[in-house]
């Protein structure tokens, strides 16, 4: 696949993977992108996952057409991209590896060697001329690991963006970009909003016509749309006006309350209401929703003096990703000593800029007149 006259795509699609990074379902598979820049000197941009060694080398050899690569640029050491680095260095013994100091430390840990005699260690603003193409290396620590850098090709105005602007899904499947890019971003990079903001500020100073990420499609048009979403996500802004209700339910009473609240919100004209059963939905999708919408309602039962395990897991996913700038409403259920609301609220004690609704719904086993009135009051508050 051609990106520009000189930049070729040599990535692979993975439809065999069950869980990406050991935890994310990927119904449409995953793409591990890699590129080669053909110039007087040839640079390969990252490798691919260990299960695609032969396919990747075959694609690379086709583009090389008998030539030998001069550089392998390692932007990120996570094995979905670096797994074939040692194979590459063995196959092309005259090639130089280009990476950050932190990446070379990781190479030693992953491969037992850091290529001291065949390496170019780069830092912020360093450049590499391939002939016509000049590459500038831009440090992007914690987007998504500490050794990450991105690379700007000022000749073709291409940003090789590492994990940034990536998404779940193989490239031979058509699907909406934002849905799986959001789930990917929030799940994988969501904690590091400040670092993504820093990278976006640096990128704003570059004339970028094409974004070449390590996952997902090459972005060639309407780049303002993608950059705008990244700005919203990384600043923990509200992307979509609406309410997401996340619940767990044991015998159906908490579910009944969650669904009744959703109905009342819809009747009152709430622009979007999303409801997630945390025991049955994709947890990453529920987490994505919490970061997408401006208001979140958590409904769960008191359980072993704590809260139901799926809700505890869900809130942990939010707080470890720096969940902030949102309104939260609580619904608790407890047949004899309800304490779920107190536990849930306590789990957010170190989170920034959260507003809890005045109304908390308390159910003692099943809905009654008092709890029904509280649901009405909560719906009113959330629609104000």
User: Closer CB to ligand FEO, residue 163 or residue 180?
Assistant: 163
Instruction: Report how many helices (DSSP H) and strands (DSSP E) the chain contains, helices first.
Output: 12, 21
The answer to whether 180 contacts ligand FEO (rule: CB under 6 A) is: no
The minimum distance between CB 9 and ligand FEO, in angstroms, equals: 16
| 309-320 vs 340-347: helix crossing angle, rounded to 10 | 20
The answer to whether 119 contacts ligand FEO (rule: CB under 6 A) is: no
How many residues bind ligand FEO, per CB under 6 A?
8
Binding-site member from 138, 214, 257, 261 for ligand FEO (CB under 6 A): 214
Nearest to 199 by CA among 159, 154, 157: 159
The minimum distance between CB 300 and ligand FEO, in angstroms, equals: 32
CB 167 within 8 A of CB 33: no
User: Closer CB to ligand FEO, residue 80 or residue 114?
Assistant: 80
The minimum distance between CB 21 and ligand FEO, in angstroms, equals: 7
How far CA 213 is from CA of 18, 34, 60, 361, in Å, comes to: 22, 9, 18, 45
The minimum distance between CB 218 and ligand FEO, in angstroms, equals: 15
Q: Give the DSSP letter string of 25-46.
A: E-TT-EEE--EEE-SSS-EEE-
Give me 180's structure tokens: 């799986």
The minimum distance between CB 61 and ligand FEO, in angstroms, equals: 24
How far CA 114 is from CA of 75, 107, 119, 330, in Å, comes to: 15, 5, 8, 52
Name residues contacting ligand FEO, limited to 225-284 (CB under 6 A). none
The minimum distance between CB 125 and ligand FEO, in angstroms, equals: 23
The minimum distance between CB 100 and ligand FEO, in angstroms, equals: 14
Q: Is the dihedral of CA 136, 141, 142, 146 positive or negative?
A: positive
Nearest to 162 by CA among 147, 177, 179: 147
d(CA 214, CA 35): 9
d(CA 149, CA 76): 7
The minimum distance between CB 163 and ligand FEO, in angstroms, equals: 4
User: Closer CB to ligand FEO, residue 80 or residue 153?
Assistant: 80
Helix (H) or strand (E) holding 165: none
Binding-site member from 80, 147, 153, 332 for ligand FEO (CB under 6 A): 80
The answer to whether 215 contacts ligand FEO (rule: CB under 6 A) is: yes
The answer to whether 312 contacts ligand FEO (rule: CB under 6 A) is: no
User: Closer CB to ligand FEO, residue 70 or residue 288?
Assistant: 288
Binding-site member from 14, 163, 288, 289 for ligand FEO (CB under 6 A): 163
Binding-site member from 14, 49, 63, 78 for ligand FEO (CB under 6 A): 78
| 341: CB partners within 8 A, 6+ apart | 330, 331, 332, 360, 362
| Site mask for ligand FEO (CB under 6 A), range 9-28, x = bound | --------------------
| 132: CB partners within 8 A, 6+ apart | 6, 39, 40, 155
The minimum distance between CB 11 and ligand FEO, in angstroms, equals: 11
The answer to whether 144 contacts ligand FEO (rule: CB under 6 A) is: yes
User: Closer CB to ligand FEO, residue 79 or residue 309?
Assistant: 79
The minimum distance between CB 213 and ligand FEO, in angstroms, equals: 9
| Site mask for ligand FEO (CB under 6 A), range 38-77, x = bound | --------------------------------------x-
Q: Give the DSSP letter string of 272-302.
A: -EEEEETTTS-HHHHHHHHHHEEEEEEEEEE
Binding-site member from 3, 36, 70, 81 for ligand FEO (CB under 6 A): 81
Residues that bind ligand FEO (CB under 6 A): 76, 78, 80-81, 144, 163, 214-215
């Amino acid at each position: 696949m051609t990106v520009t006259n000189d930049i070729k795509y040599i990535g692979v699609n993975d439809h065999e993977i069950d869980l990406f990074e050991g935890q994310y379902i990927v119904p449409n598979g995953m793409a591990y992108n890699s590129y080669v820049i053909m110039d007087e000197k040839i640079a390969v941009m990252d490798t691919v996952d260990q299960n695609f060694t032969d396919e990747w080398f075959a694609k690379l050899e086709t583009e090389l057409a008998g030539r030998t690569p001069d550089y392998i640029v390692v932007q990120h050491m996570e094995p979905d991209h670096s797994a074939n680095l040692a194979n590459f260095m063995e196959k092309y013994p005259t090639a130089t590896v280009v990476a950050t100091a932190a990446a070379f430390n990781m190479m030693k840990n992953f491969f037992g060697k850091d290529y001291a005699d065949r390496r170019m260690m780069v830092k912020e603003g360093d450049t590499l001329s391939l002939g016509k193409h000049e590459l500038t290396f831009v440090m992007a620590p914690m987007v998504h690991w500490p050794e990450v850098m991105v690379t700007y090709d000022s000749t073709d105005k291409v940003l090789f963006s590492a994990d940034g602007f990536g998404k779940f899904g193989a490239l031979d499947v058509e699907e909406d970009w934002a849905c799986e890019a959001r789930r990917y971003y929030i799940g994988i990079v969501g904690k590091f909003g400040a670092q993504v903001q820093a990278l976006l500020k640096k990128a704003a100073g570059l004339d970028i016509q094409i974004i070449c990420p390590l996952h997902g499609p090459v972005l060639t048009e309407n780049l303002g749309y993608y950059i705008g979403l990244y700005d919203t996500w990384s600043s923990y802004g509200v992307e979509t006006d609406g309410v997401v209700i996340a619940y767990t339910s044991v015998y159906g009473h908490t579910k009944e309350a969650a669904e009744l609240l959703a109905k009342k919100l819809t009747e009152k004209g709430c622009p979007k209401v999303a409801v997630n059963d945390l025991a049955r939905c994709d947890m990453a999708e529920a987490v994505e929703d919490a970061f997408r919408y401006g208001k979140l309602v958590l409904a769960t039962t008191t359980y072993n003096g704590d809260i139901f395990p799926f809700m505890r897991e869900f809130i942990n996913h939010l707080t470890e990703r720096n969940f902030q700038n949102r309104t939260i409403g609580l619904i608790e259920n407890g047949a004899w000593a309800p304490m779920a609301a107190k536990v849930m609220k306590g789990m957010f004690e170190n989170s920034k800029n959260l507003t809890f609704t005045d109304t908390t719904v308390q159910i003692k086993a099943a809905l009654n007149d008092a709890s029904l009135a509280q649901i009405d009051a909560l719906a009113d508050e959330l629609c104000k």
